[in-house]
Structure 1
């Protein structure tokens, strides 16, 4: 039996029950019997949320005496867990689950398998629909989908019969005083404005279809309208042509025209659901898949699909109002669970000051677009609907990863002062744009910027960087639906070099794989990596897929025609890897010579030192390279065995610690007397105190985020290298209890601003 047929069989019988004059309890009792029979299930039970506890309301197969007696808290037992997490459970052996709890009054000790789905009402799980069997077995997809469809019908029944407390669902104004929430900085910056919810809740009034063909036609018309909207949005971007955000929109458009998605919605309609319920049904399945996917990039693509589903649901229901369509009447901080790139583009840039998301990640498409728009974004802030009311004043500090809702006058005043000070400092940094960064003792320090998008190159003249010390070529791969062809790569690299003019650009060859996976290059090895950051990624993957590196090598060589080309290979751990990568370029160079193509005037090859093993063979590597660039982000996490994304390990991920600084000093000392360039291209170099330590170790080249160029230039002009070198020698010879505190005090005594 198909999922549609199974659900249709259940819905046909449920329709009569819902239309009957039977009291609510009788309807629930009838529902569990129908589901149990349809799925040949020995147990079917319904739990509902009452007074903050989940209560057994109806059952087939468990002891009837347990009805309205068995209660559990959210997060307690399997049922409490699936409701608290709003997730589906499918277990062959229930007792093996860490959250399993045995309730003797139910008589469930003889049952092994368990499947449960949440009953969702107004976007919140308010109950659970469970089935159990004596024999251990995993439930088929057809059974799970039938349960989920039934749970949607139950939510309508439950709401109409007032079986749950409205306060359990809609207590969105529980907090009225000031509160500060924390999240993940996705796009840096600070902003102030009033809370605007991106998406009013879409209410589905009818779940069961009266006329299936009519519902199908409603969906077809909605798809046509949605696709027209997406096509129109791609022509409305206000921040220039040719940027990677256009590739983001192309990928987004690909989802809008995906036949598989529309087919799944049609199948849900075939099961007997209305158009609205069918879209929501498929959307629930998408959310389930998102929870099962560990790959952050694929999760982000699923977010794009959910964004489209929300748009389609609003169209088909006629509930079209969003904050964007209604217009922003004052400075706004946008609040959303998640946001798609197309939806962000609908907002007035003059009024949209910031975005706060309940979800979101650094690789999300919307983040790339927000960065291009210059809008700060704070993500992974949980429970916003229970904290923020429409119109609340919000002070967003994405730099610090916080947002203050309904601030006190004193907090608002302090924020305004900081905002004004930030503007003043930015103006002061702007004045340093054309000033060369010489130290007090007269040494010229190279301050370059990192980039990864075509649009980033506009920052080069604005901040006065010496060039681009790290151009991350993988961004083009991450935002593309398919492998970027050589011609597209060539256009990007040529545009970047043209924008740089006489200033240098160092291109890092593609660093994908691991935690930067792309679906079109999926491999069994990468998918099974338990430690993606240390897995099959970067140069390892590129050397395995020689065609990938060949295409990039040729694109870079052709783009650099008549210019100096700098190429850097990521994650080199042994000398032979550098040799193999350079050989790919040499082969392409020979091919282009035969074709009588114009070639670069000079080519410099370098390696990123981010794998500690490479430091042990520097004597073998140095003769081969023109330059080395220390990638402090990966190097530090490898050295400390501390994942930088894990908040529990944040204290161990310290750049101003004797271990990492001594390690870096060894690298500097190993290059003394050799004619190679040495620099740092990680986040460490963009922080004032850390940059001060690097100068004391002998680092004279820093490649950092554009926003950090001004502050680091200011720092350089305050430093005497002999003084800081002597201080660092002392600190590392006999480390103080806190080297960070000692260095801060040393700088303060000399009037050096490290904040």
Structure 2
């Protein structure tokens, strides 16, 4: 029997049962019999969430005396694990699972196989539906799908009968009336002040079983047509100009809207007997369960795009089109959502939308790329934001320090508004330095370059007056694409960047993927299987193995730079042979392009990222082959300390002003002295004023930093005497003070150098 036929057989019987006048308990008692017989399963049980515990409410096959007696905590045993994780379990031998717990009163010791699905209502588990069998076997996929469909219908019956806890965990209580400060993850920097507005994309589904399958199918067809029309219109009206990464994001989003596989799965759910709304939600429940199993953040972000589209489709098919975007924003607003798709963000009035707060979200998500292009600050990973914030609350979004202040006191509000004023004043002061070359007080020219990765970052080159792009992260184009970017697309991007930069240099770093930057369209031979992905199969290691990937990028860069200088940098080089192998890929492409009589770069400069400490021991062998070296302080520091920079418990140990790091950097400076190789630092360290002061004291003369830091660092450079800070650093490195950060701060204050 197919999943559709099995589910339809059960739903037909459930439809009649739900229309009957027997009690809710009586209905559940019959439900377990219907499911057990349809799936030929000896045990079928329903557990419901009551008083915070999962209570056995009905069973076929277990001891009847255990009903309303057996209770499990959420997260306890196999059933509790299903509820806690909102996941499906399918086990041939239940006792072999680490969370297995034996309850003697149920008489389940003779049953080996076990399968269970969560009963979900409004994205929380309100119960669990389980089946068991004497013989050890995994249930067929068609049986699991039938259970998941039935669980959805049960959710309606259970909720309407008032059998489960009504209060949503984390719901807003009357205690939340004063000021609160919530932490989050900085996704897009900036400050925002506005009133809380809830995006509210969810639709409550009141009827799950279809009366007329063909009528439901027609409703879905019409909804798909309308949704696709909306997406087409939106992609044609994006107000960012032509060719930005946001455009690629929307094209990827559009691809999901036209995905035949997604519409087919919804139609199959309708065939099983569900209404159009229930079918869309049924498919999305499966998607959400898959998302919880995905460690790859990029693939999870793509799933969020599908969630956004499903919400849109639900609103269309149900006729409930009232999101905050369609109603309209009445004043300066900060949008609150669990997550948000790029198309949903584009629907809002850009004049009144001042910021976005997400309970989820990640740096690589599509909505973040679009928000950055719109200039809207975004704070993500704000836990229980929708539970702690009321509609209309005054919010202060501090994207610079990753904080959200809810219902601020008047004093805090005044201080925040004063920061707004100071920010504007400081930005105006930095703007005056745009065309000023950064010389120190004793006449040393410091190159202040910027990091970039998106086509939309390039205008910042002229706005900030940076000396060039010291790090162009080519992998960003790969991260926002639904498939491996074609050679002509890569070439077009690199050519646009070089044209926009004009006479200013651009250093292209070859693709740095793997680790925390996974690509869903490449096989998972790397990264996800590494115990420590940051130190695993990533960056140049991966590119050398997949020579086709590097070969296409090499040709794209060479063709894009025809008639200009090309600066190429290889990431995560740990030994000289890796650099030589990567350079050989480029040299082969040069020979090939010559046979095609293509215009080649007038000069090619090769460099490396020094991130792996082992490379420092081999610089004498490598320097003669290099034009430049860029020290990647983010990865270098975690490798030196063996401290994962993403682990908050290790944050205090991850200090760039540690004497160990500064001594290491000083050795690299000494190793390159007297050689015709440019040495610089690219990364967050160079964009912080106190750290930049230390780097200049060590002898660094080139910093590549985030565009927002260019103005502050140019201002700092003009206050420094390199001879004085150089002498102070030499003393401290020879005899480190107990607190290097404090010592450097005190010295800067004494010299009249602003370090904040």
Q: CA deviation at 1:523?
A: 4.9
Alignment partner of 1:8 is 2:8: yes
Q: CA deviation at 1:268?
A: 0.9
How is 1:505-654 mapped onto 2 (pairs within 5 angstroms)?
505-654=506-655
How is 1:97-496 mapped onto 2 (pairs within 5 angstroms)?
97-168=97-168, 171-174=171-174, 175-496=176-497
Equivalent pair of 2:171/2:387 in contact (CA under 8 Å): yes
Q: Which moved more, 1:98-107 or 1:177-186?
A: 98-107
Q: CA deviation at 1:170?
A: 9.1
Superposed CA deviations along residues 419-475 of structure 1, whole A, max 9, x for unmatched, are: 222222222222221222112222111100001111111111111111100111111
Q: CA deviation at 1:99?
A: 4.0
Unaligned regions of 5+ residues in structure 2, if any?
Answer: none
Which secondary structure state, in structure 1, belongs to the residue aligned with residue 579 of structure 2? helix
Equivalent pair of 2:356/2:379 in contact (CA under 8 Å): yes
Alignment partner of 1:733 is 2:740: no
Task: Report the equivalent of 1:31.
Answer: 31
Equivalent pair of 2:52/2:165 in contact (CA under 8 Å): no
Q: CA deviation at 1:97?
A: 4.2
Task: Report the equivalent of 2:71.
Answer: 71
Which secondary structure state, in structure 2, belongs to the residue aligned with residue 68 of structure 1? coil
CA distance in 2, matches of 1:91, 1:23: 33
CA distance in 2, matches of 1:743, 1:41: 72
Equivalent pair of 2:507/2:568 in contact (CA under 8 Å): yes
Q: CA deviation at 1:362?
A: 1.1
CA distance in 2, matches of 1:314, 1:188: 32
Which secondary structure state, in structure 2, belongs to the residue aligned with residue 58 of structure 1? strand
Q: CA deviation at 1:574?
A: 1.4
CA distance in 2, matches of 1:214, 1:102: 47
Q: CA deviation at 1:361?
A: 1.1
Q: CA deviation at 1:588?
A: 2.1
Relative to 1, partners in 2 of residues 1:108 and 1:219: Cα closer, same or farther, differing over 3 Å? same
Alignment partner of 1:697 is 2:694: no
Q: CA deviation at 1:480?
A: 1.6
Superposed CA deviations along residues 624-660 of structure 1, whole A, max 9, x for unmatched, are: 0000011111212222222222222222222121222
Q: Which moved more, 1:527-536 or 1:381-390?
A: 527-536
Q: Which moved more, 1:146-155 or 1:54-63?
A: 54-63
Alignment partner of 1:58 is 2:40: no
Q: CA deviation at 1:342?
A: 1.3
Q: CA deviation at 1:64?
A: 2.0
CA distance in 2, matches of 1:651, 1:357: 27
Equivalent pair of 2:446/2:702 in contact (CA under 8 Å): yes
Equivalent pair of 2:514/2:526 in contact (CA under 8 Å): no
CA distance in 2, matches of 1:121, 1:624: 63
Q: CA deviation at 1:694?
A: 1.2
Q: Which moved more, 1:524-533 or 1:259-268?
A: 524-533
Equivalent pair of 1:51/1:168 in contact (CA under 8 Å): no
Which secondary structure state, in structure 2, belongs to the residue aligned with residue 273 of structure 1? coil
CA distance in 2, matches of 1:519, 1:334: 29
Q: CA deviation at 1:743?
A: 2.1
Relative to 1, partners in 2 of residues 1:386 and 1:442: Cα closer, same or farther, differing over 3 Å? same
Superposed CA deviations along residues 260-312 of structure 1, whole A, max 9, x for unmatched, are: 11111111111111111111011011111111111111111111111111111
CA distance in 1, matches of 2:616, 2:564: 31
Count of matched residue pairs: 755
Superposed CA deviations along residues 190-237 of structure 1, whole A, max 9, x for unmatched, are: 211111111243011110111111111111111111111111110111
Q: CA deviation at 1:56?
A: 2.2
Q: CA deviation at 1:526?
A: 4.8
Equivalent pair of 1:192/1:393 in contact (CA under 8 Å): yes
CA distance in 1, matches of 2:489, 2:483: 12
Unaligned regions of 5+ residues in structure 1, if any?
Answer: none
Superposed CA deviations along residues 41-79 of structure 1, whole A, max 9, x for unmatched, are: 333222222233332222223332222233343333333
Task: Report the equivalent of 2:668.
Answer: 667
Superposed CA deviations along residues 579-620 of structure 1, whole A, max 9, x for unmatched, are: 122222222222333333332222211111111121111111
CA distance in 2, matches of 1:616, 1:13: 74
Which secondary structure state, in structure 2, belongs to the residue aligned with residue 521 of structure 1? coil
Relative to 1, partners in 2 of residues 1:140 and 1:695: Cα closer, same or farther, differing over 3 Å? farther
CA distance in 1, matches of 2:97, 2:409: 46
Which secondary structure state, in structure 1, belongs to the residue aligned with residue 458 of structure 2? helix
Superposed CA deviations along residues 108-140 of structure 1, whole A, max 9, x for unmatched, are: 344444332222223322222222334444333
Relative to 1, partners in 2 of residues 1:135 and 1:440: Cα closer, same or farther, differing over 3 Å? farther
Which secondary structure state, in structure 1, belongs to the residue aligned with residue 200 of structure 2? coil
CA distance in 1, matches of 2:103, 2:559: 71
Which secondary structure state, in structure 1, belongs to the residue aligned with residue 302 of structure 2? helix
Superposed CA deviations along residues 158-210 of structure 1, whole A, max 9, x for unmatched, are: 12212234334794445333222212111111211111111243011110111
Equivalent pair of 2:687/2:709 in contact (CA under 8 Å): yes
Equivalent pair of 2:526/2:538 in contact (CA under 8 Å): no
TM-score (structure 1 length as normaliser): 0.96
Task: Report the equivalent of 1:687.
Answer: 688
Superposed CA deviations along residues 139-161 of structure 1, whole A, max 9, x for unmatched, are: 33222222221111111111221
CA distance in 2, matches of 1:607, 1:55: 61
CA distance in 2, matches of 1:680, 1:704: 8
Pairwise CA RMSD of aligned residues?
1.9
Q: Which moved more, 1:626-635 or 1:586-595?
A: 586-595
Task: Report the equivalent of 2:504.
Answer: 503
Equivalent pair of 1:187/1:376 in contact (CA under 8 Å): yes
CA distance in 2, matches of 1:285, 1:439: 60
